[in-house]
Structure 1
C-alpha cells in the first residue's frame, strides 16, 4: 500500500511538532525544514488543525504547537483521515471491471487495507517519536532560531 503525499506530510508534521519542545515553528519553518512547498504543507496543517491535533497561532508570536490530543493521536486514525475509507482499487471506474459482480479480490484487498490500518491503531504520535527517533528528528529538522520580540 502506498500512502498519499498528504498523509506522509501529516505524520511528519506531527512528529516534528512532538519534538519541538517549547518552540513553536511556523508552517513556513516546518516546510523549509522538510523541503516541501509551503502551499502543500499549509493545506495539511489546516486539516490537522481542523482535526484538533495541532494549534496554529498567527502573528508575530505565532506558530504551530501539538495539542495533547495530537500527542496521543492514533497513527491509524490519522492515516485513515487522510487516506479516506475508499476501496484500494476502483472497480466502478469509467470502464467498470467485468468481474465486478463475482469478484473476490475486492473483498480481500479491503480486508488487507483494514488490517493495515488496524496495525497502526495502537501506535500513537508519542510512540513514533520516542528515543532514539526524537533526537534524530531534532538533528534533521533543526530547531528554529529565536524570534524577535
Structure 2
C-alpha cells in the first residue's frame, strides 16, 4: 500500500507543527522545509484547517499552529480522511476484472487495509513526535542561518 502525497504531507505538516513551540511557521515556510510545491502544501493546510487540526492566521504575525484536536488526532483517522474509503484495488473500473464475482482477493485486501488502519488508530500526532523525532524535525526545518 502506498500513501497519497497529500496524506504523507498532511502527516508531516502536523508533525512539524507539533514541535513548533512558540513559532508559527507560514505555509510557504513549511512547504520549503518539506521540499514540496507551495500550492500542494496550501491545499493540504486548507484541508487540515477545515478538519480543525490546525489554525491558519493571515497577515503580519500570522502562520500555522496546531490545535489541541490536531495534537491528539489519530494518525489512522488522518490517513483515512486523506486516503478515502476506497478499496485497495478497483475491481469494477473501466475494465472490470473478470474474476470479480468469485474472487477472494478483494476481501483479503480490504481486511489487510482495515488492519493497517486499526494499527494506526490509537497512535496520535503527539506520539509520533516523541523523542527522537521531535528534535530531528526542528533541526530539519530550522531556517538557514
TM-score calculated relative to the size of structure 2: 0.98
Q: CA RMSD in A?
A: 1.2
Q: For residue 90 of structure 1, what is the aligned residue in structure 2?
A: 90
* Distance 1:78-1:144 versus aligned 2 partners, 3 A rule: farther
Q: For residue 107 of structure 2, what is the aligned residue in structure 1?
A: 107
Long gaps (5+) in structure 1:
none
Note the C-alpha offset of 1:144: 8.6
Superposed structure 1 runs of 4+ greater than 6 Å apart? none
1:1-149 matches, within 5 Å, as 1-142=1-142
**Alpha-carbon separation, structure 2, partners of 1:93 and 1:35:** 34
Note the C-alpha offset of 1:132: 1.1
SS of corresponding position for 2:56: strand
The CA deviation string for residues 77-113 of structure 1, in whole angstroms up to 9 with x for no partner, is: 0000000000000100111000111111000000000
**Alpha-carbon separation, structure 2, partners of 1:49 and 1:22:** 19
SS of corresponding position for 2:55: strand
Long gaps (5+) in structure 2:
none
**Alpha-carbon separation, structure 1, partners of 2:23 and 2:137:** 14
CA contact (8 A) 1:73 1:124 kept: yes
TM-score calculated relative to the size of structure 1: 0.95
**Alpha-carbon separation, structure 1, partners of 2:4 and 2:58:** 28
